[in-house]
Structure 1
Amino acid sequence: MKKTGFLKLHAMRISLGLAIVLLMLLNAAGVIPLGFVQRLENYAYDQRLQWTMPDTVDPRIVIVDIDERSLQEQGHWPWPRHQIAKMMDVLFDTYQIDVLGFDVLFAEPDGSSGLGQLEQLARTDLKDNPAFNEALARLRPSLRYDQVFADALKNRRIALGYYFRHDGQADSRVGSLPKPALAA
């Protein structure tokens, strides 16, 4: 009688252990995501870093993040280039930063100032309006947002985001992996 109770107890422990192992395997495979396991792994990772890393926090390095609060205050992304230029001026002139790095790709021209539409009006409907043409000539430099941004970059230590293209093709392979560097 005692032997069957002992076997049932071990069978229950083994079954429970196998069920836990199966659940963890399904979590690791991504079939059944378990949030608490991810939080536990993140906590363990943070603890391991705190215990093993030397004191490497450098107060001179600051990461400025474009977060939800920034988007609420400044508007949707992408921000106009003149706005980014103003932020660069504040960082360099007020906070006296030494180097600025962008993890942003400024790949396309910024047409958000409306300069193109104003120039179209100056060529068509308002071409005979000297006050409009004079005001446009006066405002044009401040409405060339790409140039305002480029001027803000001058004589400053700034690293801009970029990407490599090896094939010389324009956007024909975007989203696909390049050929392997070495044969399998």
Structure 2
Amino acid sequence: MFHASVPSRVAGGSDISLLLDQLSHCCSRPRYAFMLLTLIADVARPDGSAGPVVRVEDGLVPLRDWLCDALAPMGQRDPRRMALVERVREELRRDARLSGDAAEDEAAVQDEVRARVRASGKTNLSRAASELVKAGLLKRHYQGYRVDHLNRGAQRQAVYTLTGRARALVSARPTPARPAARPRQGDLFAS
């Protein structure tokens, strides 16, 4: 009587449920990997690729930075994050980098915490992306200018493309409705 219908196009479940099952078998952190895939799908072009930059308000942000910032709120209540905030506050106090103004000091602490969380988030992001590449759910390449020195990745930004079952996340997005175009003068009498 109160059963949800499962689409019959895929035997055994929907595309998303099969994706979740695959993530549970191939990723050490399947929920984190699913959040990552979902965020990539949110900014992906119709071909499933996202990056190297994402438009945020009036500016452009590298995709990896945007992903790290988007995932950062997930750890707000984590005891390690709270300990990091206190550790940063103590370090800034010890280095005499706090002004004494409560609002200004809190902003300085939050900026430093955000920078540290972004740096560690990039490591987590790379690890999850590598697992997704191995699972055939993501392709990764780099785009941009390459400077010839020891760090061959300099000035290149990541581009991620959803593949395999992860493509279901792109097609599941609702497409924004376009306003009807007004006919042009030459089109009025065309038959």
TM-score range, shorter chain: under 0.3
The higher relative CO (CA closer than 8 Å, separation ≥ 6) is in: 2
Instruction: Tell me which protein shows more strand as a share of its residues.
Output: 2
Normalised by the length of structure 2, the TM-score is: 0.24
